[in-house]
Chains A and B, each alone.
Chain A
Amino acid sequence: MFNLRIIKHPILDFPKQEMVQFTYNGSSVQGVAGESIAAALHAAGIKMLRHSSRHHRPRGLFCAIGNCSSCLMTVDGVPNVRVCVEPLRAGMAVEVQQGKGTIV
Chain B
Amino acid sequence: MIDTDVLVIGAGPAGLLAATSAARAGVNVLLVERSERLGGQLIKQTHKFFGSRDEYAGERGIAIAARLVKETEEQAGITTWKNAAVAGIYPDGVVVIACKDSFYTVRPKKMVIATGAAEKTMLFPNNDLPGIYGAGALQTLMNVYGIMPGKRILMVGAGNIGVIVAYQLLQAGVEVAGVVEAAPRVGGYAVHAAKLARYGVPIYTSHTIKAAHGEEYLTGVTVAKLDECWQPIEGTDRYIAVDGLCLAVGLTPLTELCWQAGCEMRYVAELGGYVPLRNAEMRTTKPDLFVAGDAAGVEEASAAMVEGKIAGLSVAADLGCMNVTNELEHAKKQLSALRAGPASAKIRSGLSQILIGEVS
Closest chain B residue to A61 by CB distance?
B137
Q: Does A64 have its Cβ within 8 Å of any Cβ on chain B?
A: yes
Within 8 Å CB of A68, what residues of B? 118-119, 134
Contact between A48 and B118, CB atoms less than 8 A apart: no
B331 to chain A, nearest CB (A): 28
A12→B136 CA distance, assembly (Å): 17
B130 to chain A, nearest CB (A): 3
Contact between B171 and A64, CB atoms less than 8 A apart: no
Closest chain B residue to A36 by CB distance?
B145
A54→B215 CA distance, assembly (Å): 17
A67→B252 CA distance, assembly (Å): 12
Contact between A64 and B147, CB atoms less than 8 A apart: no
Within 8 Å CB of A19, what residues of B? none
Per-residue CB contact flags for chain B residues 143-168 toward chain A (1 = under 8 Å, else 0) read 11111111100000000000000000
A-B contact count (CB 8 A): 105
Contact between B119 and A11, CB atoms less than 8 A apart: no
Which of A12, A14, A43 has most B Cβ within 10 Å? A12
Q: Does B57 have its Cβ within 8 Å of any Cβ on chain A?
A: no
Contact between A87 and B172, CB atoms less than 8 A apart: no
Within 8 Å CB of B145, what residues of A? 32, 35-36, 39, 43
Within 8 Å CB of A6, what residues of B? 142, 146-148, 172-173
Q: Using A5-B147, A9-B172, A63-B118 as known contacts, say yes or no to A39 and B130 having CB atoms under 8 A apart.
A: no
A73 to chain B, nearest CB (A): 12
Residues 172-186 of B contacting A (Cβ, < 8 Å): 172-173
Q: Does B128 have its Cβ within 8 Å of any Cβ on chain A?
A: yes
Contact between B132 and A60, CB atoms less than 8 A apart: yes
A46 to chain B, nearest CB (A): 9
Report, nearest first, the 6 A-B pairs whose CB atoms are least far apart: A60-B130, A14-B146, A64-B137, A47-B130, A64-B140, A39-B145
Please give the residue numbers on chain A whose beta carbons come within 8 Å of chain B beta carbons, in ascending order: 4-12, 14, 32, 35-36, 39, 42-43, 47-49, 52, 57-68, 70, 84-85, 87
Please give the residue numbers on chain B whose beta carbons come within 8 Å of chain A beta carbons, in ascending order: 34-36, 41, 46, 60, 62, 118-119, 121, 128-134, 136-137, 140-151, 171-173, 215-217, 254
Contacts A/B (CB < 8 Å), 27 sampled: A4-B148, A4-B150, A5-B146, A5-B148, A10-B171, A11-B171, A12-B46, A12-B143, A35-B145, A39-B140, A42-B149, A47-B216, A47-B217, A48-B217, A57-B128, A58-B217, A60-B130, A61-B137, A62-B121, A62-B132, A63-B118, A64-B133, A64-B141, A65-B136, A65-B137, A68-B134, A70-B128
Supply 12 further A-B pairs (C-beta < 8 A) apart from A42-B147, A85-B36. A4-B147, A4-B151, A12-B146, A35-B145, A36-B145, A39-B145, A58-B215, A61-B133, A63-B119, A68-B119, A84-B137, A84-B140
